Structures are given as C-alpha cells and as structure tokens.
Structure 1
Amino acid sequence: MLETPEELSALQALLDRSHGGGGAHLGSIVTDERRLTALQVANYLQGVKHVAFATVNSRGEPMVAALDGWFLHGQFIASTAAGALRVQHVRRNSAVSLVHMVGDEVGIWVHGTARLARREEPLIQEYDRLATAAYGTSPYSWGDDIAVMPVEARVMFAYAPDPSKYP
C-alpha cells in the first residue's frame, strides 16, 4: 500500500462525503455494513486492476472503454495511447467516471476529472516504476506517446456485500 496516513484520511473523508450524498436508492444498496473503508480500498487496489473508464464525446454522449487502472496515493490512474479517442475527450472535457468491479463481490467507482500528466511528475514516475515491474517493460516503451491520466475524484463509492473479505 502506497498511501500515507494523510492520504488515507483524505480518502476516508471522500468516501464518507460521497456516501452521504449518494441518494436513497444507492444508500439502500451501499449500506454502512457494505461499505469499504479507505484502508480496505487502498489494500485491495494494490497493483493493476481492470477498470471501465468513461468519458464524454463532443456530442455529450458517454463513451466507455476497458483500461488498466492503478490506485496510487489515494487516486486512480489510467493510461492509454495518446491518440486514443478517450484522450481527445479528456482534452475537451475532463469529466470522467471510472469503475472497477468483480461481479457482485466488490465495486469501487468514482466520478471526477482526469488530467493529462507529464512523465516527469513524481506520481507518474512512481506509476511507471510499478507498471514496469508488473508488465516487464515501461508503458512508455510501447509506442511513441502514452497518455497517463490521474483522476481527481469528486465522489467515490466502495461496496462489498461482505467487507470482511477485504482486510
């Protein structure tokens, strides 16, 4: 786990704020007993996790794609080729949604904004180090240009029917 105590505290505050504003229907499913804590989220999301990454096209239509996701220092990071449509969408409108779920076992989703990060940023250097260890080569070696997109969550929800499975 890479999160500092301060980052875990901020993540827990985000989860709590989000849960309080999620609406009646969501609240009937993601009950207090079925919520994951910040510590559980950070522990579970170590390493690469597949995510559905949704952007908005120029016509205001939602577009979703499967990407590898990483959770570093309390935020999701996704990457893809710089020429991908979703990168064009983020350049035009930074609003995104992202979800990682495994059937009915666990679901973690965020709504927020993505930005195109620079390779020299410490967060992105850490992402590159972890991704290189996982994939055997740096994502930056896969093509001429890669877009790495940290997501700043406005809201975040973390659900599991049995949170005890996620220490």
Structure 2
Amino acid sequence: MRPSALLLLLPLCLLARPAHAQDPIHHCVDTHGNPLFTDQPCASQQASPVQAPAPVASVATPGLPTPLQRCASTAAELRQRVIDAFAARDPNELAGLMLWHGYGHVSAVDDIRALARLVRQPLLEIHFGGDPGDDPASADGGAAAVADELQLRTGDDGARFAITRQAGCLWLRYGG
C-alpha cells in the first residue's frame, strides 16, 4: 500500500477509536429504602451509598470451575442461609435462594419488594413444615426428607415459602 493511501485511512482510524469513559454510576438507597442509580453522588440526592458486598468464600472442587455461589443442598444449610439473609438485611440474598421460574416482571418486582420489607424486620422464628418440633434441620442436618414448607415469623408478621428440590438443591418459592 502506498503511504498516501495510509494517510487517507488515518482519519478513519481516529473516528473508530473508543469514546471517552462515562461518569461512574452511583448505587444509592433513598430515605424510604428504595434503590437509586444515578450519575450524581448519593449525598446530592439525599441518599446513602450502598457498599459493595464482601467477596464470598467458596469451596473449589478439583477439576471443576469454582462456583460463584453454592446452592443449599440440606435443610440445615437452607435455614442458615435464610438466617444470614435476615442478619444482613439483604433481600437479594434471600431472593438468591428462590426458584424464579414462571414469574412475570410485575410479580417478580412485587415479590422482591415484599422480601425487602420482610428482611427489615427481626427474624423471631424459623421452622420447616407445620410443626416446629418436626423440623428436619434439627434432626439429622436435613440430609433425609425435607419438609415442603419453610415458615418464618418476624416482628410484624411472617411468611411461608414452599420448598422445591431441583438439580440437587433446595429452593424457596414465595407464598406471601
């Protein structure tokens, strides 16, 4: 190629260069607890910044990729993960334990909002099935039969979750 042809291509290369980076997106929570994403600092929106979650330690299996998050495979593990979600007051952590197949956008958003209200309350009681004495998590660690329901009692009310076993994991289905 001739040098003059290369000089003609130079302006095209300059036009193809990436655009300047955009301003960062600030993840905030307003005074009512609603998430807010903005290009302005949180303080200018009368909101609090959301801190990035701490990295989760996971157990690696030789020869397999390291999972980002392991699912609950026993009743005891499911119970502990629900307790941890309440301790962190994190509706997303609780939502991560749920099986979301068949949800429409509106119903999923409504359920996430309900979970956010739920985890803001103190968790007073958690048990499987209809009777707290028949709790599989307290008997053998939950490795055997698992009840079909998880019941929570919180400061104001409570919630019931159906339990579904799929792909070796225990999942919650929100029942309100």
Indicate whether the TM-score tops 0.5.
Answer: no
**More strand, by proportion:** 1
What is the TM-score of this pair, normalised by structure 1? Answer: 0.30
What is the TM-score of this pair, normalised by structure 2? Answer: 0.29
Higher relative contact order (CA 8 A, sep 6+): 1
